[in-house]
Amino acid sequence: MKLTALLIEDEAPARQVIRGYLKAYPDIQIVGECDNGLDAVDMIHNLRPDIVFLDIQLPELSGIEVLDRLQFLPQIIFSTAYDEYAIRAFEINAVDYLLKPYTEQRFGLCIQRVREKISQPHIAAASLMKLMQTYQQTDYPRRLLVPGRDEMVFIRVEDIDYIEAADNYISIITKRDVYLLLQRLSDLESRLDPGRFFRIHRSCIVNVEKVESIQTWKKNSVEVILYNGKKLPLSRRRVQEFKERFGI
């Protein structure tokens, strides 16, 4: 069965990798390429490809926003360097999620999933569920998209010192800046790696890698001391768990 493919990547080397890997599949014909989200929407509607290799970080529109504008939905394969969108991708029924850099063998498994979804949808659904569960169990975002001064910006989770709740907002504090989000602290906590972040108080989460010590003051109050001298209260009922988890 002949299949057609559209490559949507803003980086030429990434498109070259896909073209190279597809040479091993002569029944899959590349019918077009583009490097931004707006052109992607037009090309998908006009060319109606069977398969779309879609980057998430694109100029004009993101890969997710491209899908939101489609009336015709081909088999979508996300190809991106960012793992934090994996679950969202599977929720919108993407065939696969290729995390750059990926090998030719991993690409081959992706093509197998495409064929299964087209010819044997029940097998494909089970395969996709297994893959989705793998991401749910092991992957945490390495970057967060937050409001900056004039635009949305990415911050690396490793750069976060601590996160505080205040009224309906949370503040994400880094060495260089503070970012405000209209979100509940517990919702963000559920997305963060528990091996790196610990809720030291009902209104504060700390990046443990930024902690230098904990200190006990009179009346048994306990504080976490960060690398920059910042002191944060550590709930007394969480002191022992904090020490046991991180060996402090």
Rounded to whole angstroms, how far apart are CA atoms 174 and 204?
14
Residue 196's nearest CA partner among 184, 183, 187, 209 is: 209
pTM, two decimal places: 0.51
Confidence (pLDDT) at 248: 58
Q: 77 with 94: CB under 8 angstroms?
A: yes
Tokens of residue 201, six digits: 């108080």
Domain range 143-246, CATH class: mainly beta
| Same CATH fold assignment for domains 3-138 and 143-246 | no
Question: What residues does 147 pair with on adjacent strands?
Answer: 152
Q: CA geometry: angle at 244 spanning 242 and 247, to 5°?
A: 95
Q: In terms of Cα–Cα distance, which of 189, 188, 193, 245 is closest to 214?
A: 245
What is the fold, at CATH topology level, of the domain defined by 3-138? Rossmann fold (3.40.50)
Tokens read off for 122:
């029940």
Q: What is the pLDDT of residue 171?
A: 93
Write down the pLDDT at residue 143: 80
Q: Are 116 and 138 in contact (CB under 8 A)?
A: no
pLDDT score at 147: 79
Strand ranges for 94-244 from DSSP E: 96-99, 143-147, 152-156, 160-166, 169-174, 178-181, 197-201, 204-207, 211-216, 222-226, 231-234
Cβ 119 vs Cβ 111: under 8 Å: no
What is the predicted pLDDT for the residue at 123? 39
Residue type, 244: E
**Domain extents for the chain?**
3-138, 143-246
Largest CA distance in the chain: 76
Distance CA 104, CA 34 (A): 22
CA gyration radius, the chain: 22
Q: Alpha-carbon distance 240 to 232, whole Å?
A: 16
Element (H, E) at 30: strand 28-34
Residue 84: the pLDDT is: 63
Instruction: Label the pairing between strands 197-201 and 204-207.
Output: antiparallel
The 10s digit of each residue's pLDDT in 5-19 is 999 999 888 899 999
In this prediction, residue 172 carries a pLDDT of 95
Q: Which residues of the chain have pLDDT under 70?
A: 82-93, 120-139, 150, 217-220, 246-248
